[in-house]
Amino acid sequence: MDRIQAYMIQLWKNITIEPLMVIYYAALNVMELFRTDMKLERFCRVINNHTAEECENIHDHENRYILYEAQKQDGIFGIMEYTVGDIVPVIMLLFLSTWSDRNGRRLVMLMPLVGCMAYSFTYFLAAIFTSWSPIILLIGSFLRSLSGSHMLFLMGAYAYMADLTSHGARTTRMAVLTALMSLGSPIGTMLGPVIFNAADETWGQSAGYQCVFGTATLLFIVTFIITFIVVKDRPMVTNIDEDQTGNCFQMGWRNVSGLWNSAFKKRPQNRRMYILVLVAMMLLNICAIPQKLYVWSQIVLDWDIDDYSPYWSLRSLLAHIMILVLTPLIRNTGIHDCLTAAGSVGLKAIKTIMMTMVSSPSGAWVLWATVWMPDGLESLAIRSLLTKVCEPFEVGRMMALLAVTEAIWPILDIFLYTIVYNSTIEYWPSAVYVMSSAFGLLVLALLLWMRLDMQKNGMDEEFEKAAAKYTHMKNESVGDLSKCEQGEDSNNLEEKSSVTQNISNLIPEISVKEDVNNQESNETPTIED
């Protein structure tokens, strides 16, 4: 009993930013589905000039042609929102990651929260002023983009956790942080409909939207306050050569050039080809993820938020549990990363092929039957392969390259899916998943080819040698973090910079897509379709 009590006390002392991350994810997810519904209603009533009664009952069968029209317009709006919201955060990440190594993490965590507050408050105002065009909502996306958005916040959060922990405990603490904050997704998903339905029954639909977006804004404010109180700027080591570091802008441009040089430089044993193919597979895998799921379920399954919310909450919870269970099992059994990724991609391809055949509400069993699938396992395996193919000192650059390309790629991704969905929505809305299946099968073929080619080139033995070499280098070069805190290890700043770049390894795995109509899932489930 004493040991359990001591363990619980130690666990309580180790809690830092985990609670605020749960609240943050709940705030993101509480409003996601309602963003889509309110935009559809505004396109219907304000842009297309249908009656308020028709637009409030847009999901009824007699109004199906109105829903088709509004969903097409919302798809185009999503392209604009992605374009406005994604480019600036990528640039800010490249520059502010280096700045935060010197000046601390508090500012890079507070800035995005201000943008999130502005974003949700824009929707709150739009819910009050019912005559506003949905195009005004792009202002909120732009303001959130200027603040660094979700990507910068996660970089700061993981870097702050890295600052607090020793090198040996860092991976475990970050894994725990990821697991705990993922609880915010189902919490927000279930909380949103409860708030909306209570307000809708009492004051009407407009009040329901106001309460949902108001709740999201309040949760972001609470997150901001907790972050301001909890996150302290720790003293950063600055006694290293100026020529080695330069200012944050010089380092930013140096980071950009270093990414591309690392990707395209010549390497032995087909390693350059492996790197380029792995990056390509990561991007193709984004296209293989089932998208437009919520709006598709409205058309094909006759679902609304009350139907979709329980499904998504269960799916996000089970998918994350499967990842936590399967990852150590795969590691202990020694299954090759290529085969791990191939298995996950193959399951996803089977799911999307089945979804192409769904044409009525009776096909909802396909979603429920596949709710357990561990989406995102293939991305973890591909990232693991990438770190093994490159040199140990290039891991940060490789992960940063993935972060940048994965942030920009969805603009093309949503464009392709929007064109296909809008073209087939009236006669075969499930056709969009033919494209998902094709991309998934292509990634599967590339993974199997890479496994055979690596086996042919003897890469497995090279991986083992590289792992042993990296472990030796790490033990020699990495000082104890506690010594750094006492000023005894001035070289630890280089490790912190590497940690910040390696945050890119985690950012794509838990990112929340900016539009609910764009993607069903990423590595850590959020409310995306």
Q: State pLDDT tens for residues 400-450.
A: 677 778 778 888 899 999 999 999 999 999 999 999 999 999 999 999 999
pLDDT by residue (tens digit) across 73-90? Answer: 999 999 998 888 877 887
Mean pLDDT of 91-99: 75
Confidence of residue 17 (pLDDT cuts 50, 70, 90): confident
What is residue 222's predicted lDDT score, i.e. its pLDDT? 96
- The confidence score (pLDDT) of residue 504 equals 46
| C-alpha distance from residue 233 to each of 25, 159, 163, 240, 499 (Å) | 23, 12, 10, 19, 16
**CB contact at 8 A, 509 and 523:** yes
Summarize the confidence of residues 342-359 as an average pLDDT. Answer: 95
- Between CA 486 and CA 188 the distance in angstroms is 41
pLDDT of 511 strictly over 50: no
Q: Which range (38-52, 122-136, 223-237, 311-325) has the least confidence?
A: 223-237
Predicted local confidence at residue 495, as pLDDT: 47
Please state the pTM of the whole predicted model: 0.80
Residue 24: name the closest of 312, 176, 164, 224 by CA. Answer: 224
**160-165 mean pLDDT:** 76
Mean per-residue pLDDT for 42-56?
Answer: 93
pLDDT band at 7 (very low <50, low <70, confident <90, very high): low
**Quick one: tokens of 281?**
């597979």
- Residue 342, pLDDT above cutoff 70: yes
- Rounded Cα distance between 300 and 458, Å, is 49
HSE-CB at 339 with a 13 A cutoff on CA atoms is 9
Per-residue b/e over 438-459, b at no fewer than 16 CB within 10 Å? bbbbbbbebbbebbebbeeeeb
- pLDDT > 70 fraction of the chain, expressed in percent and rounded: 76
Give residue 529's pLDDT band: very low, low, confident or very high (50, 70, 90).
Answer: very low
Most confident listed range (54-58, 134-138, 150-154): 134-138
- Cα distances (Å, whole numbers) of residue 126 to 132, 214, 434: 6, 11, 36
- Residue of 420, 342, 410 lying closest to 381 (CA atoms): 342
Pick the CATH number of 17-231+245-471+492-510 from 2.40.50.140, 3.40.50.1000, 1.20.1250.20, 2.40.10.220: 1.20.1250.20
Between 155 and 345, whose confidence is greater?
345
Enclosing H/E stretch for 529: none
Residue ranges per structural domain of the chain: 17-231+245-471+492-510
Q: What is the mean pLDDT of residues 500-518?
A: 43
Q: Please give the Cα distance from 146 to 152 (Å, whole number).
A: 11
Beta strands in 353-475 (DSSP E): none
C-alpha 130 chain-centroid distance: 31
The Cα 508–Cα 442 span in angstroms is 21
In the chain, the percentage of residues whose pLDDT exceeds 90 is 44
Confidence class for position 36, pLDDT limits 50, 70, 90:
very high
